[in-house]
């Protein structure tokens, strides 16, 4: 069994947080992408991830309205001091479709519920899941600052936030990390967000670094998605409509060509590209399969020459991607 040993640091100064170079996105264990894993199997997989070097685990109240946190808590309780657990607040009742709710009293309620479900006395990284237009970001950051002072939270994070919100929040309570979608098929953060994070010393935690599985090369235009898999609903994720998958296959074919030359998998190349972008960038791919987990973690040691990375970067940027990332209603929750 190969063990990933590489680590990275999110944030700077008192906001600095050391984590494994590749983290684990836990959402798919019981949410969004189909039939939930049996709880016992999910717990085993999380422990397998830790044994293979993962110390950074990402969950949220909104994943199963707390059920995902319960799985994480059960899996990591006995190794709590060896791992970093991130969770999130910010949706009304933990349900994204019900809109945002980052009122200070709600943040405190979510924190206490998360501590109970995670079987811990502190949350290592507490993200605002989406910016709430009805609550000043200064009040949000101030509430998390109080939770840090009380010892319930160690670090403050934001997710899919815009430049203004990040600046204003960071002025109240230093932001350790911004979690946003970022991959070879979603590069918008390069325009304004990543330069700001570099300026302020904030780490980037890309979710869906493999394009919700599309960049692995295992999904084609003919793929059928099972019951409960949100990718099968093109209204939610237009990029996964059959006609768009057919067009977007060009990007996967490009990555596969580079992977073949490097004796690697497309997933490993996609992750290695992200890791090479910045030493403060920590992707959190998710999987329900042990062999995929091992494949992903091997990306941390994949050696890709700088000129090859530059060639991949330029070639991928030239590929036209079909379909919006999200349904317009979901998109409205982003970059406020």
User: Rounded to the nearest 5 degrees, what angle is found at the Cα of 318, between the Cα atoms of 314 and 321?
Assistant: 130
Pairwise CA distance, residues 309 & 125, whole Å: 31
SS3 assignment, position 324: coil
- Between helix 306-317 and helix 242-262 the angle, nearest 10°, is 170
Provide φ and ψ at 98, rounded to 5°: -90, 0
Tokens of 90: 């910010």
Q: Assess contact for 20 and 55: CB atoms under 8 A.
A: yes
Q: Where are the alpha helices (DSSP H) in the chain?
A: 39-51, 67-76, 104-117, 137-149, 163-172, 193-200, 242-262, 266-277, 290-297, 306-317, 328-331
Per-residue pLDDT tens digits of the chain, which is 336 residues long: 889 999 999 999 999 999 999 999 999 999 877 788 999 999 999 999 999 999 999 999 999 989 999 999 999 999 999 999 999 999 999 998 899 999 999 999 999 999 999 999 999 999 999 999 999 999 999 999 999 999 999 999 999 999 999 999 999 999 999 999 999 999 999 999 999 999 999 999 999 999 999 999 999 888 888 888 888 888 888 998 999 999 999 999 999 999 999 999 999 999 999 999 999 999 999 999 999 999 999 999 999 999 999 999 999 999 999 888 877 666 666 766
What are the sequence ranges of the domains in the chain? 7-212+277-303
Pairwise CA distance, residues 67 & 156, whole Å: 22
Q: Say which residue the tokens 């050391």 belong to.
A: 18
Q: Look up 63 and say whether it is catalytic.
A: yes
Residue 10: CA count within 13 A, CB half-sphere: 29
Cα dihedral 153/65/328/207 (nearest 10): 50
Considering the entire predicted model, what is its pTM?
0.96
Indicate which residue of 24, 63, 127, 182 is catalytic: 63
Residue 283 CB neighbours (<10 A): 27
Task: Please tell us whether the domain made up of 7-212+277-303 is placed in CATH 3.40.640.10.
Answer: no
């Amino acid at each position: 069994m190969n063990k990933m040993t590489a680590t990275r640091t999110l944030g700077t100064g008192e906001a600095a947080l050391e984590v494994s170079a590749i983290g684990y996105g836990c959402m798919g264990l019981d949410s969004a992408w189909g039939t939930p894993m049996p709880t016992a199997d999910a717990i085993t997989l999380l422990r397998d991830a830790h044994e293979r070097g993962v110390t950074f685990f990402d969950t949220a109240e909104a994943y199963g309205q707390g059920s995902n946190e319960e799985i994480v808590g059960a899996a990591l309780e006995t190794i709590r001091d060896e791992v970093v657990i991130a969770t999130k607040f910010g949706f009304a009742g933990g349900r994204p479709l019900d809109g945002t709710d980052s009122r200070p009293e709600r943040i405190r309620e979510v924190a206490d519920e998360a501590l109970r479900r995670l079987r811990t006395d502190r949350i290592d990284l507490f993200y605002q899941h989406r910016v709430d237009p009805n609550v000043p970001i200064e009040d949000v950051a101030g509430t998390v600052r109080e939770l840090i002072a009380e010892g319930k939270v160690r670090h403050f994070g934001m997710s899919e936030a815009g430049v203004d919100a990040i600046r204003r929040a960071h002025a109240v309570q230093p932001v350790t990390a911004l979690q946003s979608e970022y991959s070879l098929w979603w590069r918008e953060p390069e325009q304004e967000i990543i330069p700001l994070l570099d300026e302020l010393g904030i780490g980037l935690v890309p979710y869906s670094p493999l394009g919700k599985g599309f960049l692995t090369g295992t999904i084609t235009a003919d793929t059928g998605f099972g019951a409960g898999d949100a990718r099968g609903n093109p209204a939610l994720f237009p990029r996964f409509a059959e006609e768009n998958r057919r067009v977007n296959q060009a990007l996967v074919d490009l990555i596969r060509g580079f992977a073949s030359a490097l004796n690697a998998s497309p997933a490993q190349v996609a992750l290695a590209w992200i890791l090479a972008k910045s030493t403060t960038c920590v992707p959190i791919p998710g999987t329900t399969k042990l062999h995929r987990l091992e494949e992903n973690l091997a990306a941390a040691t994949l050696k890709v020459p700088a000129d090859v990375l530059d060639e991949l970067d330029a070639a991928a940027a030239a590929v036209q991607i079909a379909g919006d990332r999200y349904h317009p209603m979901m998109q409205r929750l982003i970059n406020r």
